[in-house]
Amino acid sequence: MVGKFIPPLLIAAGSLFGILTASASDPQPAEQRIRAALAKPITVGYAETPLTAVVKDLQGKLLVSVQLDQRALNELAVSVDSPITFSATEISAKSALNLMLRDWGLTWTIENEVLMITSPQDAESPDRLLTRLYDVADLVTPEDDPRKPPNFGPLIELITGMVKSHTWDEVGGPGVIQPFHARGIRALVVTHTGPVQEDLAELLANLRALRDANKINLPLDSAGEPDDASAAEPLPPPALTRGLTPAEEKIRQLLKQPIGVHFLETPLSETLDVLHTQTGIKIQIDKKSLNELGISLSLPVTLDMKTLELRKALDSMLDAQGLTWVIQNDCLLVISASQASSADYFNTLVYDVSDLVASHDAYGNSAADYEQLIDLIARTIRPMEWDVYGGEGSMKPFTQGGIQALAIRHNCEVHERIEELLARLRRLRKERPENKQEDN
């Protein structure tokens, strides 16, 4: 009996590591088991611990094989006995690895059923690229007539523009993305590194989650599809964004909460420990970027405010020192402002903008006008940091599969300003007299 094929991305959005092609008789191949282990929360505490001892400890915690790429370490002049100092509580093993290895210029990949610690250059070498198959029928099939040929173009453009855009073959990188269409199959075949495969899977899952969130509790039309036009009650606001893990979304919300801060010549590391205790936010320090600025963890901080939003308190503490913060790897990372403007620290968020791009063409047909919204954002929020002006931030529209979304890749601060701008636009429309009458 032939095993049933399970398309990787039909797995629930919460299981983003389960992107391997699998059969019903083999639900947990070795690589999938490693990815499942990487998704689990772990607690680690290393103080000047040799790298080899760290690897042994991780093997015990994750119950998977972890190895060091000796050749890659030699090329970076990193010893297997390099002292690792890092601690984290209840964050995903993937996030812990990313944070811990970054200071040494290392990364990880999955190779031959092993979690391999190596250099970013080696991880992208052709012999270490992985090939994955993604079922994307629901994202490329024309909505007006499913019998029409699939349109892969918008989805491929979105992926190559949002997921490590400099690493695809069309710009000289190692990654390859190829559509395949045959009877009963509408798929993307992607060859790239393990981390990029995960980012790609997450992007597709976020698109689907955004679409599905806006179908909840809607009446059905005659074809059994959600019908917002016949809803008896006003529809809830669209799900605005998808792209952060639950832990990262929680941090984003906590940053808006007021707190009291009373620091007088308090060492920077101690102030961050206090904020962690007060809020529960996991805070990490990018020691490498602080060292580059010549900033010590004992830097004295003075700030006395009875009530202040946490994000504003952090800005007040960090700005004068050339520091800032980003949300990444399930924690709040204190980092240099110059590093934060690098694409390595950007988040990709998917915004539902169906209510802001609705328009009509010259013939009166419904159409989506993204150009005006993209231009508004690029011209009013950090203009020189967008790719159209030579920066690294990027925006890509996507209109297919019941989705009208704008995928945006930039840092946390810019995302906050974009959300504020979109909210103000929506409030403006709602407050107009004619729209108030429609709501009533």
Select from 340, 375, 396 the last residue of a domain.
340
Of all helices (H) and strands (E), which one includes residue 376? helix 371-380
- Number of structural domains (the chain) is 3
Check residue 362 and give left, alpha or beta (phi > 0: left; psi -120 to 50: alpha): alpha
Whether residue 224 is contained in a domain is answered as: no
Select from 72, 90, 118 the last residue of a domain.
118
Alpha-carbon dihedral 165, 35, 91, 330, rounded to 10 degrees: 20
Q: Count of alpha carbons within 13 Å of 347, Cβ hemisphere only?
A: 28
Q: Which residue has the tokens 């094989």?
A: 65
Q: How confident is the model at residue 11 (pLDDT cuts 50, 70, 90)?
A: very low
Q: How does the average pLDDT of the chain come out, rounded?
A: 83
Return the structure tokens found at 140: 């490329």
Q: Same structural domain for residues 57 and 89?
A: yes
The reply to whether the predicted model has a pTM over 0.95 is no
Q: Same structural domain for residues 367 and 392?
A: yes
Q: Which residues contact 424 (CB under 8 A, 6 or more apart)?
A: none
Q: How confident is the model at residue 23 (pLDDT cuts 50, 70, 90)?
A: very low
pLDDT at 164 over 60: yes
Task: Find, among 134, 68, 131, the residue nearest to 104 by Cα.
Answer: 68
Q: Same structural domain for residues 39 and 69?
A: yes
Whether residue 242 is contained in a domain is answered as: no
Cα 302 to Cα 262: distance, rounded to the nearest angstrom: 8
Are 16 and 198 a contacting pair, CB within 8 Å?
yes
Q: Same structural domain for residues 66 and 100?
A: yes
Q: Tell me, what's the pLDDT at 360?
A: 65
Q: Which residue has the tokens 């090939």?
A: 131
Task: Find, among 215, 217, 218, 211, the residue nearest to 242 by Cα.
Answer: 211
Cα 167 to Cα 165: distance, rounded to the nearest angstrom: 6
Q: Same structural domain for residues 439 and 379?
A: yes
Whether residue 127 is contained in a domain is answered as: no
Q: Same structural domain for residues 310 and 324?
A: yes
Q: Same structural domain for residues 331 and 351?
A: no
Range of the domain at 429: 346-440
In this structure, which amino acid lies at residue 37?
A
Whether residue 175 is contained in a domain is answered as: no
Whether residue 31 is contained in a domain is answered as: yes
Collapsing DSSP to helix, strand or coil, 31 comes out as helix
pLDDT at 239 over 60: no
Can you give the CATH number for the domain in which 113 is found?
3.55.50.30
Cα 263 to Cα 40: distance, rounded to the nearest angstrom: 36
Q: Same structural domain for residues 400 and 334?
A: no
Collapsing DSSP to helix, strand or coil, 140 comes out as helix
**pLDDT of 373-383, one tens digit each?**
999 999 999 99
State how far the alpha carbon of 86 is from the alpha carbons of 287, 317, 413, 437, in Å. 10, 23, 26, 58
Cα 34 to Cα 28: distance, rounded to the nearest angstrom: 10
Cα 97 to Cα 283: distance, rounded to the nearest angstrom: 15
Q: Same structural domain for residues 336 and 351?
A: no
Q: Same structural domain for residues 54 and 101?
A: yes
Q: How confident is the model at residue 20 (pLDDT cuts 50, 70, 90)?
A: very low
DSSP secondary structure letters along 352-413: E-HHHHEEE-TTS-EEE--HHHHHHHHHHSSGGGBGGGTSSBEEEEEEETTEEEEEEEE-HH
Cα 440 to Cα 438: distance, rounded to the nearest angstrom: 5
Q: Same structural domain for residues 362 and 332?
A: no
Cα 340 to Cα 322: distance, rounded to the nearest angstrom: 11
Cα 213 to Cα 88: distance, rounded to the nearest angstrom: 32
Q: Which residue has the tokens 């030699």?
A: 74
Whether residue 219 is contained in a domain is answered as: no
Are 6 and 23 a contacting pair, CB within 8 Å?
yes
Q: Same structural domain for residues 35 and 87?
A: yes
**pLDDT of 257-316, one tens digit each?**
999 989 999 999 999 999 999 999 999 998 888 888 899 999 999 999 889 999 999 999
Whether residue 369 is contained in a domain is answered as: yes
Select from 295, 317, 340 the last residue of a domain.
340
**Cα end-to-end distance, the chain, whole Å:** 60
Whether residue 96 is contained in a domain is answered as: yes
